[in-house]
């Protein structure tokens, strides 16, 4: 492409485009600076809430925020969205509500059992879209950085699931482990996570996805 004859433009077009690009760069630098400042402020707020909650529960067990932030792939943004969009299910340790609010639980519809048709399974759209985005980001980060999540992702892709569908499967698994960790008051332990999922599956009657 570089060897091809360059596109002929009117005089001044290249100079105008260069000026426009330089103005865009300045705006991008400002946005990036503001984003970093927002991330720092968010982390400070989470630390303040964590300290207040830790004072209530005492030193015997970690706070909910500390447990949530101990998971691989959970940064300040994901933690903040979980705590704001799913405060009640987290407080109640309600796994089923969490998976529905976040959209990782699929929707199953019966499509004429008498005619021999199988039930259809589709993505849940009635959910918190901010929470869905947070779960997508958490699952994506976990798939890259957590060995168990990475192995689960590969398994789901080998079954024929698409990228987003596989991430929802990872998110579902992460919520199971999160609820178990909140109930036991323990920080995330990758070595214990697999056994935790099996116990939760048996208790709530959910098969591995």
Instruction: State the pLDDT at residue 194.
Output: 56
Q: 10-27, pLDDT tens digit by residue?
A: 989 999 999 999 999 999
What is the average pLDDT value for the chain, to the nearest integer? 87
Distance CA 165, CA 167 (A): 5
- Can you give the pLDDT at residue 199? 54
Which carries the bigger pLDDT value, residue 130 or residue 194?
130
- The tens digit of pLDDT for each residue in 150-160 reads 999 999 999 99
Question: How many residues are given for the chain?
Answer: 209
Q: What is the pLDDT of residue 209?
A: 44
Question: What does the pLDDT look like over 103-152, one tens digit per residue?
Answer: 998 888 766 555 556 677 788 888 899 999 999 999 999 999 999 999 99
pLDDT at 200 over 50: no
More confident residue, 204 or 8: 8
* Global model pTM greater than 0.85: no
Residues 183 and 93: beta-carbon distance below 8 Å: yes
């Amino acid at each position: 492409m570089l060897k091809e004859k360059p596109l002929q433009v009117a005089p001044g077009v290249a100079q105008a485009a260069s000026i426009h690009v330089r103005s865009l760069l300045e705006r991008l630098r400002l946005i990036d600076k503001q984003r970093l400042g927002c991330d720092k402020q968010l982390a400070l707020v989470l630390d303040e809430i964590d300290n207040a909650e830790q004072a209530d529960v005492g030193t015997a067990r970690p706070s909910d925020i500390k447990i949530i932030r101990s998971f691989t792939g959970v940064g300040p943004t994901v933690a903040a969205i979980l705590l704001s969009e799913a405060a009640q299910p987290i407080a109640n340790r309600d796994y089923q509500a969490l998976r529905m609010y976040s959209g990782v639980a699929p929707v199953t519809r019966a499509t004429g059992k008498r005619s021999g048709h199988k039930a259809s399974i589709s993505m849940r759209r009635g959910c918190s879209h901010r929470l869905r985005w947070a779960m997508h980001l958490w699952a994506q980060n976990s798939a890259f950085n957590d060995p168990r999540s990475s192995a689960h992702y590969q398994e789901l892709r080998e079954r024929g699931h698409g990228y987003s569908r596989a991430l929802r499967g990872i998110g579902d698994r992460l919520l199971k482990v999160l609820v178990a960790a909140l109930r036991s008051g323990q920080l995330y332990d990758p070595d214990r996570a697999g056994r935790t999922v099996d116990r939760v599956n048996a208790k709530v009657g959910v098969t591995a996805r």
